[in-house]
Amino acid sequence: MGHLKLHIPGPVEVSEKTWKAMATPMIGHRSENFQDLYSKVQPQLQELLGTERLVYLSTSSAWGIMEGAIRNLVNEKLLCCMCGAFSDKWLDVANRCGIKAEGLQVEWGSPILPKKIDEKLDSGNFDAITLVHNETSTGLMNPLEDISKLKEKYPDVMFIVDSVTSMTAVPLHFDKLGIDVLLAGTQKAWALPPGFGIFVVSAKALERAAKTETRGYYFDFLEFQKNAEKNMTPSTPSIPHINAMSSKLDEFFSEGLDNRFARHQKTNKMTREWASKHGFTLFPDAGYESISLTCVNNGAKKEGRIVDVPRLQNLMKEKGILIDGGYGKIKGLAFRLSNMGDETEETIGDLITKLDDSMKELG
Amino acid sequence: MGHLKLHIPGPVEVSEKTWKAMATPMIGHRSENFQDLYSKVQPQLQELLGTERLVYLSTSSAWGIMEGAIRNLVNEKLLCCMCGAFSDKWLDVANRCGIKAEGLQVEWGSPILPKKIDEKLDSGNFDAITLVHNETSTGLMNPLEDISKLKEKYPDVMFIVDSVTSMTAVPLHFDKLGIDVLLAGTQKAWALPPGFGIFVVSAKALERAAKTETRGYYFDFLEFQKNAEKNMTPSTPSIPHINAMSSKLDEFFSEGLDNRFARHQKTNKMTREWASKHGFTLFPDAGYESISLTCVNNGAKKEGRIVDVPRLQNLMKEKGILIDGGYGKIKGLAFRLSNMGDETEETIGDLITKLDDSMKELG
């Protein structure tokens, strides 16, 4: 079997153009050439994320930054907003770091609502919260804008937001949201290879970090800031990823950010409509569906159609496409279709044709 | 100015073949394809490092693993063997992690001798030591084999060894050495792009880690072990780096490891002899010179010739080659020539011709 095109929710397909950019001849990471590269992508990253803050580049997957964020920012107690495999895991990671933490757990498929966070924060016990914007395991998008409004009421609580599968797929205005950390990995909506992370941190978060002992070195926010001011990174970075990112950013701005966001809306509508057409329901609660992937219900919730997911996956593999068969405790009880990255109406049309054919073969 | 060939001590030049391997079409990191890739490189890594332990792959630079190692293994007090910029820094990193640590500092250019470590460990105060095998800032190679013999006397002290600029350039038999952690980044003697790390951990170190709280998640040794047993990594890895590594490992074994080590010996002798020929002395103490790079004294120590290093660097740049002008407190007072990675007698011959020409031009 040759290469399978990835329609799993990350890593996603990487284009030839991106691979070529990645293979740019090597330069030293303490050279002017490197500073030129960083200072070229910096304003693009700032525009993309709606921020005047410096954007940091981390040679790690997103989990490294997530662990770093809580090591940098939690001195009292952390509230972890939990609504799926990835957001749930953050509580476990906090425990492993020896950080006092409590979960605000809702059922998988349901969103985190501002009211519930407000009730928790009202206790005055918490100095930080973690929130996953787009919970990839359930295909759910939490109401980030509404949640961020709480920041006015709780200015000293650090709002740490994972936008792993939403960054570059939906508008994210860091400064307007007023949150404290926004982070993502590269192998999702960015359509870059895995192994790299991007994040931005508020001035208030840097002040907090300065007061936090044992925050370490590799993910020390103050080191990132100090180095970013010189267009450098604290440790030797994955320069190939930055070259690939530079190429990708050029593509984003050449397409236009609004066009890019609209494209994700359109292609996501296509996969959702495909699911309805075949009698499936969606796993996330209505009104909170992610727009970068579709999590199709297949028995995890009562209503809707049920098919043999591993067989559907195999039929799709025969057609050269890899789709996901559900994650964590809903494996097999849901399946996921990604429209992240470079996917267009045409390529999602092709996905749908192949899904239609596979459904016929399933009988 | 076009691409400058890198003769700095990392990142080093990356070959076309490696770039091509890096651009292998993307696969999912929880797929059988990924497990196949890891299980292909695993025995090669084990042979390279002389170990029956599983070798771990870290999506980070070496500093991430270094910080991880001390977070996993130090419960009492850490002894940091310090003999240059990189080994000195480990003490600072330990402090930032809130780990009790003490330095065993020798003058830059001098080695860490077993006797000095023995005197310190004899106190019974330490449960771990950090050692940089090849101190890149001073071009010095510490006597790792002799130091490792102390392990018999201090079996409960964790020996954590950074082999960043020695791994793949000199023989390293992890199991025979009996040490507890051996780690490196990819952008040095491996001749892979930066942004990735390789490490191996003793059974005893895993036992220690199991007793260490707050070791976190991203660099948790037990997570690496648990996942490596399934040919996976704890977090989403940089798959491009692993594809590139796989190609590189094939090259190593096709050349033959002994031939590879002999090649580094030969090419290193060439740069050392070049320095003598021009009246320079070497910065590291005699008998402890690194064999993957040459640190030429240029005033940091009293004896020998002194030239205008920035001018020498510029003359070399005009000839298409980047050399290093000294690191940290000996910047300008030393310069460094790397023979790491793919360099051959022919390419080092070319470097030397250009250095000779530049010396003439310096007058």
Do B39 and B62 belong together in one domain? yes
For residue A246, the surrounding DSSP H or E stretch is helix A239-255
Of B253, B278, B302, which closes a domain?
B253
Domain of residue A339, residue span:
5-12+257-362
Burial class (CB in 10 A: 0-12, 13-18, 19+), B326: buried
Chain A residues close to B239, C-beta within 8 Å: 11, 193-195
Q: Residue B197 corresponds to which tokens in the numbers above?
A: 């790390």
Residue type, A242: I
Chain B residues closer than 8 Å to A63 by CB: 217-218, 234-236
Percent of residues in chain A assigned helix, strand, coil, to nearest 5: 45, 15, 40
3-state helix, strand, coil in chain B (%, to 5): 40, 15, 40
Query: What's residue B1's pLDDT?
Result: 65
Cα distance between residue A4 and residue B28, in whole Å = 10
B236 touches chain A (CB under 8 A): yes
Instruction: Choose the mutation target among B211, B219, B238 for the interface with A, i.e. most A CBs under 10 Å.
Output: B238
Same domain, A83 and A197: yes
| Cβ contacts of A258 within 8 Å, gap of 6 or more | none
Same structural domain for residues B172 and B24?
yes
Number of structural domains found in chain B: 2
Pair (B109, B156) in one structural domain:
yes
Angle at B302 between CA B301 and CA B304, to 5 degrees: 95
Residue B8 is given by DSSP the state: S
The confidence score (pLDDT) of residue A337 equals 98
Q: Residue B296, exposed/middle/buried by CB under 10 A (0-12, 13-18, 19+)?
A: buried
Alpha helices in B256-319 (DSSP H): 257-277, 309-318
Q: Do B216 and A64 touch (CB under 8 A)?
A: no
In the listed set A253, A269, A293, which residue is the last one of a domain according to the structure? A253
Smallest CA-to-CA distance from A83 within A13, A159, A137, A12 is with: A137
Touching check for B57 and chain A: CB below 8 Å? Answer: no
Q: Which residues does chain B have within 8 Å of residue A331's beta carbon, measured at their own beta carbons? A: none
A221 in the same domain as A330 = no
The alpha-carbon gap from A61 to the nearest alpha carbon of chain B, in Å, equals: 6
Shared domain for A139 and A186, answered yes or no, is yes
Contact A261, A267 (CB under 8 A): no
Any idea what DSSP says for residue B289?
B
pTM above 0.80, yes or no: yes
DSSP states of B54-112: PEEEESS-HHHHHHHHHHHH-SS-EEEEESSHHHHHHHHHHHHTT--EEEEE--TTSPP
The answer to whether ipTM exceeds 0.85 is yes
Q: Are A196 and A105 in a shared domain?
A: yes
User: What number of other Cβ atoms are within 10 A of residue B349's Cβ?
Assistant: 13
Residues A33 and A111 in one domain: yes
Cα B139 from Cα B135, distance rounded (Å): 6
B328 inside 8 A of chain A by CB: no
Q: Touching check for B114 and chain A: CB below 8 Å?
A: no
Residue A317 and residue A183 in one domain = no
* Average pLDDT per consecutive 10 residues, chain A (363 residues; last block may be shorter): 92 98 96 97 98 98 98 98 97 98 98 98 98 98 98 98 97 98 97 98 98 96 98 98 98 98 98 98 98 98 96 98 97 98 98 98 93
Mutation target vs B (from A7, A60, A242; most B CBs, 10 A cutoff): A60
- Give dist(CA B169, CA B13) in Å, integer: 15
Q: At which residue do the structure tokens 């692993």 appear?
A: B242
Of A193, A226, A253, the one marking the end of a domain is: A253
Same domain (yes/no): B64, B117: yes
Cβ distance A252 to A48 under 8 Å? yes
Q: Compute the distance between CA of residue B19 and CA of residue B325 in angstroms, rounded to an integer.
A: 28
Q: List, for residues A302-345, the tens digit of each pLDDT value.
A: 999 999 999 999 999 999 999 999 999 999 999 999 999 999 99
Closest residue by Cα to residue A60 from B61, B253, B131, B70: B61
DSSP structural state of residue A291: S
pLDDT score for A255: 98
pLDDT for position B193:
98
Q: Are residues A168 and A201 in the same domain?
A: yes
pLDDT in 10s for each residue of chain B, 363 residues:
689 999 999 999 999 999 999 999 999 999 999 999 999 999 999 999 999 999 999 999 999 999 999 999 999 999 999 999 999 999 999 999 999 999 999 999 999 999 999 999 999 999 999 999 999 999 999 999 999 999 999 999 999 999 999 999 999 999 999 999 999 999 999 999 999 999 999 999 999 999 999 999 999 999 999 999 999 999 999 999 999 999 999 999 999 999 999 999 999 999 999 999 999 999 999 999 999 999 999 999 999 999 999 999 999 999 999 999 999 999 999 999 999 999 999 999 999 999 999 999 998
Strands B140-141 and B134-135: antiparallel
Instruction: Check which CATH number belongs to the domain holding A167 and give it.
Output: 3.40.640.10
CATH at B325 = 3.90.1150.10
Residues A237, A274 within the same domain: no
